[in-house]
A = this chain, B = another copy of it.
Amino acid sequence: MVAGMIIDCHGHYTTAPRALLTWREAQIAALADQSKAREKGMIHISDEDIRASVEGAQLKLQRERGTDVTIFSPRAAGMAHHIGDATTSLHWSEHCNDLIHRVCSLYPGNFVGVCQLPQSPGVPPGNCIGELERCVTQLGFIGCNVNPDPSGGHWTSPPLTDRSWYPLYEKMVELDVPAMVHVSSSCNPSFHHTGAHYINADTTAFMQFLMSDLFKDFPTLRFVIPHGGGAVPYHWGRYRGLAQDLKRPPLDELIRDNIFFDTCVYHLAGIELLLKIVPADNILFGSEMVGAIRSIDPETRHYFDDTRRYIDQVTVVSESDKRKIFEGNARRVYPRLNRRIAATV
C-alpha cells in the first residue's frame, strides 16, 4: 500500500470526444426508423482526441488538487437506459466502456475503470452479466455503476433489494467488484437530474437497503451511495429512528461491510456533518469532477467540487481516519484496485 495516495472514487468521462455523442445521436435517430439495421458500428476517436479531452480537464484538476487516481466511468447522465431497448443499451454501453478502457490504458496511473451496464426498463438485471464480466476480466475494470431506475425518473423497476437483481449480485460477488448506485438523466419533468433525481436516488437506495435482508444473502456485496449518501447523513437521526421502529439493525451495523458514501458534498458544513456522523470506515473520497457543478464558489474562490479542500479543513476526524477516506477504504471496497495501482507505481 502506497502511503499518502488520494483516490477519487467518483469520476465520469464527461469530457469525452464529440464523436461519441455523434454516434449516440445517430443511434437514437435510428430508433425512429425500424428499417435501419441496428448495428453497433464503429466510433473513430484517436489517442490524440482522448488526450486532448482529459489533459486540460481531469488530469489538470488532479494535479492542481493533489489527487492521484480517479475511479472512472462513463458519463452518468449519458447512460440514459430509458432510451431504446436492451440492444440499444448494450451497443451504447460497449462503446462507452471501451472508451473508458482506452483512457485507462493511456493513463494507467491516473484512471481505473468502472463500467456502465446495459440496463433497460423491464429487462432483468441479469442481462448485464456479460458486459460486467467482459469489463472486469478483459478490460481490467474494478466495479460497475448500477442504475436503480432505468426508466429515467418514473421508477417503474423493482427495488434494488428485489430478487430479480440476485443473478447480477452473484456475479459481482464472484468477481469481487462493488457497484456505485447511480441514476442517469431524467425524462420526468418533475426531476432535475443533478439537482433532484440523483440525490433522490441515493436516499431511495439507502432506504431500500435499510428495509431488506439483502446483505444476509450477500455478506460481501458492496454498494457506494454517491453524493454524500443523498439526504441520509443529514437525516441520520430519522434513519436511526426508522431502523429502530422497523426492527431493523442499527445503522452502523447495517452499513458496516456493505454500504459506503462518497464525499461529493460541495461545502464545508456538509462534509463536516458527513465525517462527524458516518463511521470513517464507510466513507470514500470522491469529487465527481468534472461533473454536476463546474464553477468556482465565490465565497471560497475555489471550485465547488474540490472536495479535498473541505476534508483537509475538517478537524472532527483523525488523520488516520482521513487516510482511510482518501485511500484505504477505496482499496478495501474495490479490491481489484490494488492490482491496478500496484502495477503502475
Which of B188, B207, B269, B292 contacts A196 (CB under 8 A)?
B207
Cross-chain contact B204 with A242 (CB below 8 angstroms): no
Give A203-234 interface residues, CB cut-off 8 Å to B.
Answer: 203-204, 207-208, 210-211, 227-228, 230-231, 233-234
CB-CB under 8 A from A239, the residues of chain B are 195
> When A199-B203, A292-B242 are in contact, do A237 and B297 touch as well, CB less than 8 Å?
yes
Cross-chain contact B240 with A188 (CB below 8 angstroms): no
Give A184-200 interface residues, CB cut-off 8 Å to B.
Answer: 188-192, 194-196, 199-200
Chain A, residues 291-304, CB within 8 Å of chain B (1/0): the string is 01111011100001
Stretch at the interface among A132-140, A153-161, A165-173: A153-161
CB-CB under 8 A from A227, the residues of chain B are 235, 238
Q: Which residue of chain B has the shortest Cβ distance to A160 in the bound complex?
A: B190
How many positions in chain A have a CB within 8 Å of any CB in the partner chain?
58
Which of B200, B234, B238, B294 contacts A200 (CB under 8 A)?
B200
The reply on A277 being an interface residue by CB < 8 A is yes
Cross-chain contact B190 with A155 (CB below 8 angstroms): yes
The reply on A149 being an interface residue by CB < 8 A is yes
Cross-chain contact B277 with A244 (CB below 8 angstroms): no
Cross-chain contact A237 with B267 (CB below 8 angstroms): yes
Cross-chain contact A155 with B188 (CB below 8 angstroms): yes
A280, B189: Cα distance in complex, Å: 31
A195, B158: Cα distance in complex, Å: 17
The reply on A117 being an interface residue by CB < 8 A is no
